[in-house]
Amino acid sequence: MVMYEEDFVLNSRGMKLFTCVWKPVKQEPKALLFLCHGYAMESSITMNSAATRLANAGFAVYGMDYEGHGKSEGLNGYISNFDDLVDDVSNHYSTICEREENKGKMRFLLGESMGGAVVLLLARKKPDFWDGAVLVAPMCKLADEIKPHPVVISILIKLAKFIPTWKIVPGNDIIDIAIKEPHIRNQVRENKYCYKGRPRLNTAYQLLLVSLDLEKNLHQVLIFLDIFMDMYIWLYNEENILQTLFIN
């Protein structure tokens, strides 16, 4: 049996951010798990199945929607500054960890796609704070076939300064690219809190910067991955929860 609650918090820029938590009812949580959702997604619906399974396995699971995502305030699908996004997540999740009832509990991160990049940046920001993480298809390197030409990047930077919110970045349907299972694609398309438009100019630029940064500093990422593997094994042994984590 799982208890689910929702709330809102203010970030440093005065924006209301949606937060949620799943907790086991009949036992004290054995550890804390913090969700980082992907680009254009949200936490309370698209990650509900995984969070509920983890809560049933004894974890307190916390989620939040980034600014411009899901039920949070901000222009839908827009990322002004990725560092601000990471700071918002870090500040909120750190506050939860520091609550009296959570002191002494292990702290883990779970990130999917762009959320995987958020996890890696959180770990790089405070490497001694987190006990480990699970990364699901993390956004940490651009494939050579989709890496923009330097000229294209230069044009993107200039345009993003003048029309940052415009949805004019060409590309295939992000839902088709990110999700392979037809029934899950339909669930996302029917979810009114998921962004379904083309990437906005500055959003695309911010995602490009983060991907290039993580790729350039992959040696640092690999150090964190060695630590994260301990978390993967530990979670897998907790009733083989990872085996069914993302099966709806």
CB 140 within 8 A of CB 216: no
Cα first-last separation, the chain: 18
Residue 23 one-letter amino acid: K
pLDDT above 80: residue 82:
yes
Q: Of 92-101, 102-111, 136-145, 204-213, where does mean pLDDT reach its minimum?
A: 136-145
Per-residue pLDDT reduced to its tens digit, 163-174: 999 987 666 566
Of the candidates 74, 81, 92, 78, which has an alpha carbon nearest to the alpha carbon of residue 36? 92
Average pLDDT rounded to a whole number, residues 126-138: 88
Rounded CA-CA distance 49/55 in Å is: 10
Is residue 180 very low, low, confident or very high in pLDDT (cuts 50, 70, 90)?
Answer: low
Model pTM score: 0.88
Catalogue the E-assigned strands of 13-171. Answer: 16-24, 31-36, 59-64, 106-112, 132-136
DSSP-derived pairing of the beta strands 132-136 and 106-112: parallel
Average pLDDT across the chain, whole number: 85
Helix axis angle, 114-125 relative to 201-216, nearest 10°? 50
The CA angle 144-169-18, to the nearest 5 degrees, is: 100
Structure confidence at residue 187 (pLDDT): 79
Contacts of 38 (CB under 8 A, 6+ apart): 112, 113, 114, 115, 139, 178
Of the candidates 140, 136, 139, which has an alpha carbon nearest to the alpha carbon of residue 246? 136
Average pLDDT rounded to a whole number, residues 184-202: 87
Average pLDDT rounded to a whole number, residues 29-51: 95
Is residue 233 very low, low, confident or very high in pLDDT (cuts 50, 70, 90)?
Answer: very low
Architecture of domain 2-244: 3-Layer(aba) Sandwich (3.40)
Write a three-state SS string for 109-155. Answer: EEEECHHHHHHHHHHHHCCCCCCEEEEECCCCCCCCCCCCCHHHHHH
Rounded CA-CA distance 231/185 in Å is: 29
Is residue 95 very low, low, confident or very high in pLDDT (cuts 50, 70, 90)?
Answer: very high
CA 201 to chain centre: 20
Rounded CA-CA distance 101/90 in Å is: 19
DSSP-derived pairing of the beta strands 16-24 and 2-10: antiparallel
Domain parsing of the chain, residue ranges: 2-244
pLDDT above 60: residue 230:
no
pLDDT above 80: residue 186:
no
